[in-house]
Amino acid sequence: MDAPEGLTYSVPRDLGIVELGERVEAPLGRHDRRATGYVIELGVAADIDPDKIKPIRRRTGMRLPPNLIELAKWMSGYYCCPLGLALSAMAPGAVKHESRRRTVTLIRPTGKRPVEPLPAKTDEAWRAVLALPAGSFPIEPTALKDAINAANLGPINRLIERGLLERYTEVKRTELFPGPAPSKPAPVNLNAEQRDAVGGITATLGSFAAHLLFGVTGSGKTEVYLRVLEEVVARGECAIVLAPEISLTPQLVSRFHERFHAAGVAVIHSGLSPAVRREHWMRISRGEARVAVGARSAVFAPFDAAAGVKLGLIVVDEEHDGAYKQDDAPRHNARDVAIRRAQMEGCPVVLGSATPSLESWRNATLGRSRLHTLRSRPAGARLPRVRVVDLADELRADTSNSARLSFVGPTLREEIARTLDAGGQVILLLNRRGWASYICCPDHRCGWTLRCDQCDVTMVYHRDRALPAGGVVRCHHCLSEQLLPGACPVCGKRVTTFGAGTQRVEDELARLFPEIALAGAIRRVDSDSMRGAGMYHDVLDAFRRGEIRILLGTQMLAKGHDFPGVELVGVLNADTAINLPDFRAAERTFQLVAQVAGRAGRGERPGRVVVQTFNPHHPAIVHAANHDYETFAAGELRVRDRSGLPPIARMARIVVRNEQHERALRDARRIARELERIRESSPTLRVHGPMPCAISRIGDRYRIAVEMLAPSPAPIQAALAALRNAGLAKSDAATAIDVDPIALL
């Protein structure tokens, strides 16, 4: 139900007492279409004709705690999105849609033998069944079909008809935690900084307080969360721990599972099957799991204070991470929702990072949150030594093969060789997928470049030797594909490619280190090479065991992993983000370089980092190399202050999208005009635009932006409300409203 304030229904007597937050079924619209929604208010509507009120049809049995209804109302207001959308974000689909009992069909042999000769096809299938290894049964029908190489289920059905195999069904078990039961972890002694942080945070349990735990990579932040959580659990309260892309960091989940398995741990992220998600969610709402660990959506874990399950702490690990921001409606930032929820529930919130967002850093320096700093790595591990090399010098110095451009310069090449000789492991980062990012005409006078015909971006070449053209070109925005053109369509010259991606570097590594490549010890990790989280975990496990020596990949690799064997980290091109037309380009570059550098030197041997860049004097790179967040942040905040940008100012952005350029422009102008009118009574509001977005077209729709800035949230909130009242700011397919945007492309 998309009506902003909800609709009014009556409750028939035979439905019993309906409670706040219940999910109910009710007739909607002129034809009484069946719809479901949440009860967001209870009471007698005095101002509506009772004859016009329709009755609720059915209670579904599912219920959101009242505190989440309150949170959804706040989100709907703050992020300027329909309440229905905010509510729909509160619970996973699997919880809302009542599940049938989930059963699986399985097949097993009956133990009988054929009494008469089988027809040829059936006989072939039977022999294949007999040849399967012991322990293959029971098996699902399609898996059996594949295992015996049958074209369809026909032969299997024949074998069932003859009584050789049997089919039966079983209720599917939901495996909440794959893998072995947790072991008791060895206790560690906190160092003085960790103790101070734990003490400072623990002292505020029981009421709202915001904390920033600023600790260099590997400084033991997780250990701090764990200790504070022990206190929370001892008080009989519950906690939420958020981590970006938790499906990629199973070690983190197991650390929480080890410690809190008695209090009950629930996991929430989109990589789980619907049945498992539902079960975890239900365990939280029944009070069986008191620690919820998860990605963005875990901020909505259904702890219900009214039912005696009190939320005592929210932790947001790697709080700077862009994965906390949802980029479709409701466009919220789970970190900021976490702060708001902590305020509403009266508990502390801890934001942790080695590279805090400038928003959080500024809040800490202004005293809005308490700062706890961990400056060193425990147990003698040192921060790695970082060497910045100028790619211009590297290219000049590179005499190894003049015909081919190389992406691993001589300095990095030497460091990799040295590390491999000494038995160490290497992580290489390149934040660009595919073989090449540009396909163009070699003739500058012609200047043709292959662009997507639906989007204002260049197409990326992905090599695939199995294809006749040697690969495909793909648009990373609308995902459209075509074969690689051989010749320039304008002048007919043979096309060239440049802008190396991970695939191409993988190819170069194989040439530089042939023995390592032959041993299968070089692996590429990006969303093209990894099918699903399971495959990714397998690669990381192999890396942890030392079977993989060089791991090459995109920013997936920069996140939160702890590999003691990594001696060398190489950043192949630190400039991939630096020149983007987004005021956070420097901040993002700093974060990426500092985070990936932090993967080196976590074991006994000291780590080294080589950063290749064409901008060796850029502050983001210089300070990341010195592990000096504070100087970087101070400088960057001055830049933002001078230009009146976040976090000094607050921002909201409206993007109008339409297949017709004039239409998009007309709608954007209308919004800008209305904002100019609002400005007359709200002088601190600044309005920019209409202007084309940096990517001016995506998926065949033109994109035109209007931005508003103000020194505090209030004028922005007031302006959005006024737009909404004027019918100009409906958050829908044609208009995207982004409050506190983090990406401006």
The encoded tokens of residue 730 equal: 């409906």
User: Which residue's CB is nearer to ligand ADP, number 225 or number 300?
Assistant: 225
Query: Is 448 one of the binding residues for Zn ion (CB under 5 A)?
Result: yes
Query: Is 503 one of the binding residues for ligand ADP (CB under 6 A)?
Result: no
Q: Of ligand ADP, Zn ion, none, which one sits near residue 81, judging by CB under 5 to 8 A according to partner kind?
A: none
User: Which residue's CB is nearer to ligand ADP, number 16 or number 380?
Assistant: 380
Residue with tokens 């505090």: 712
**How many CB atoms neighbour CB 73 within 10 A?**
17
Q: Of Zn ion, ligand ADP, none, which one sits near residue 182, judging by CB under 5 to 8 A according to partner kind?
A: none
Which position among 28, 446, 542, 637 is part of the footprint of Zn ion (CB under 5 A)? 446
Q: How far is the CB of 560 from ligand ADP (least distance, A)?
A: 7
Which position among 149, 189, 207, 725 is part of the footprint of ligand ADP (CB under 6 A)? 189
Q: How far is the CB of 223 from ligand ADP (least distance, A)?
A: 4
Angle between helices 221-234 and 250-260 (to 10 degrees): 30
Which position among 223, 508, 636, 707 is part of the footprint of ligand ADP (CB under 6 A)? 223
Query: Is 434 one of the binding residues for ligand ADP (CB under 6 A)?
Result: no
Query: Is 190 one of the binding residues for ligand ADP (CB under 6 A)?
Result: yes
Cβ partners under 8 Å of residue 301, min gap 6? 240, 266, 268, 281, 284, 292, 294
**Does the N-terminal peptide bond of residue 66 adopt cis geometry, omega within 30 degrees of 0?**
no
Q: How far is the CB of 702 from Zn ion (least distance, A)?
A: 13
Do 624 and 632 touch, CB atoms closer than 8 A? yes
Of 218-226, 480-488, 520-528, 573-581, the segment contacting Zn ion by CB under 5 A is: 480-488
Q: Of ligand ADP, Zn ion, none, which one sits near residue 477, judging by CB under 5 to 8 A according to partner kind?
A: Zn ion
Residue with tokens 């999105």: 81
How far apart are the C-alpha atoms of 681 and 732, rounded to whole Å?
Answer: 28
Q: Of ligand ADP, Zn ion, none, which one sits near residue 448, judging by CB under 5 to 8 A according to partner kind?
A: Zn ion
Q: How many CA atoms lie within 13 A of 386 on its CB side?
A: 24
Provide the β-strand partners of residue 699.
none
* Radius of gyration, CA atoms only, the chain: 29
Which position among 73, 261, 451, 477 is part of the footprint of Zn ion (CB under 5 A)? 477
Give the 3-state DSSP-derived string for 70-87, with helices as H, strands as E and coil as C: HHHHHHHHHCCCCHHHHH
Query: Is 249 one of the binding residues for ligand ADP (CB under 6 A)?
Result: no
Of 240-248, 427-435, 491-499, 506-514, the segment contacting Zn ion by CB under 5 A is: 491-499
C-alpha 121: how far from its chain's center?
49
Which position among 454, 482, 626, 696 is part of the footprint of Zn ion (CB under 5 A)? 454
Which position among 40, 87, 416, 475 is part of the footprint of Zn ion (CB under 5 A)? 475
Query: Is 383 one of the binding residues for Zn ion (CB under 5 A)?
Result: no
Do 26 and 57 touch, CB atoms closer than 8 A? yes
How far apart are the C-alpha atoms of 495 and 449, rounded to whole Å?
Answer: 9
Do 418 and 513 touch, CB atoms closer than 8 A? no
Query: Is 294 one of the binding residues for ligand ADP (CB under 6 A)?
Result: no
Which position among 136, 157, 174, 191 is part of the footprint of ligand ADP (CB under 6 A)? 191
Of 181-189, 304-312, 438-446, 508-516, the segment contacting Zn ion by CB under 5 A is: 438-446
Burial class (CB in 10 A: 0-12, 13-18, 19+), 427: buried
Binding site residues, ligand ADP, CB under 6 A = 188-191, 194, 215, 217-223, 378-379, 562
Interface residues with Zn ion (CB under 5 A) are: 441, 446, 448, 452, 454-455, 475, 477-478, 488, 490-491
